Structure 1
Amino acid sequence: MQMIKNTLKRMNVTQSEFANAIGVSRPTLDAYIDQFQKTGHIIKDEYNQIFINLFASAEISYQEFHEKLQMVVCDKKRENNINTCALDDNAEEYIYRVQKAMISDMLEGDWDEKIYYYILLTISNYKNDEIFREYARYVADLNTEWHEEITSTDKQYYSFFHKNLGSLFSRKPEFDQKEFDDFLKQKEILRKQKEERKETVRQETNKELMDKIKEIQKKYEDMGKEASKNEIIDCIVGRGMYQ
């Protein structure tokens, strides 16, 4: 166990701190350390990968060690905060791979927030927005072999995307003022549509909220009381007597 213990000592990490970081008990950690140093392998793949990343090289730097350990801690928090029990193995694996890739990218620094916002937009909209879905599928099919048939809808969009974007693979695009102006106009249209949707939600919510307030006030009046502001708020958020 001495090599791993020496590495932890050099990194100013106690064995108890390391056990907590990777989510195991001290006896389990001792067993893993013994197993890894005897065989270079841990039977449980998740922890085998952690040990390989952290202890395979005796020359690992202080900064690299702590960056990798921080990724492990983040992964453990993910497992605790995200309930994936209802998902199949493939879905669970994608959650793990995507989050791990994102954390790794952010730790490198200089990460692009717009890329992550685009990822969120795609995940949030692809089931209801054909353009989001088909563009994502186009990029995926362009870069990877998939064991599924390309649909007729896919073919329509793929041919369009390739016609309009295919030249980007061979040359850098030139600036087009008219097209850029059209882009800004479309952006403004989408912004207004988003604000209109938000306003509709606000109006509908306000109406439902006012109806709920009237209902609460009526129930208090029936008891010969007048509901205070705090009592109304408590009832609305589920803490009061009329939930």
Structure 2
Amino acid sequence: MIVEGRDDASWLKWYFAEHGIDAKAFSVDDRVTVPGDLVSTVHTEINARGRVIALAVESEMWGLPQPSLTCIIDSDFDIFEPSQTAVSLLKTDYAAMEVYALTERPLSKFLIASAKADIQASSLTALLKPAWAILYALRYVLHRHGDGAKLAKKFADKCINNAGDLVVNASELLRSSQPSPSRDALSQLLGLHQEYMRAIPEASLHGIRGHDIAPIIIRFLKLKNELADPKVVEHLMRQSVELIDLDDQPMFQQLKSRIAN
């Protein structure tokens, strides 16, 4: 198994071990050298995701017996821009591995055991999905049309006020991005954002960027001390995921099928 990063590789190693499966998982940059010219033919960016995709596409010409190699990527922005496909390439069911932790059982475990929060998992995701979706579409707009502009680091503060109310506003988030867009650029970006928002399913976990999950939860639940650190919250949420939460997910079913064969 070749994946984008070491965290994903470690998670898959745990998954295989729990199932008694003899398979290995590696971060692409720990195992493979993929030239940039190969990446540029199949992906818009020279990055880890692109290197995994390029490896999957290139390996189809090697005549390997299936399924000796499996490449796994985050679905990322595939809602808006479907990425390359290949026989050995699997994509997460949601935008990122972290989103599996938002399914009801693991999120409930995190809320009760770690956050000590008195709110149902389904209620939390229903409340916060609009903020996550707006951020997801905004990040794509800036990524593709923003000339290098990035959302402000404290974006969660602009999504949820001190009273815990959702006040997320695409225009305000864009105005606070760095560098801030001109009036004409702002109008154009907002128009694109509205268009992309229509492509995001409302009642699902699609349209949520993995690293936006923790900052919004921290802000909404007013978590303190070490729980105010997004990396800590991400780790605890991953630790809440168990086999029962993954085995019925389509990508993991595909993965087990490939390994079984």
Q: Could you say which TM-score interval applies, normalised by the shorter chain?
A: under 0.3
Larger Rg: 1
Length-normalised TM-score, structure 2: 0.20
Length-normalised TM-score, structure 1: 0.21
Greater share of residues in helix: 1
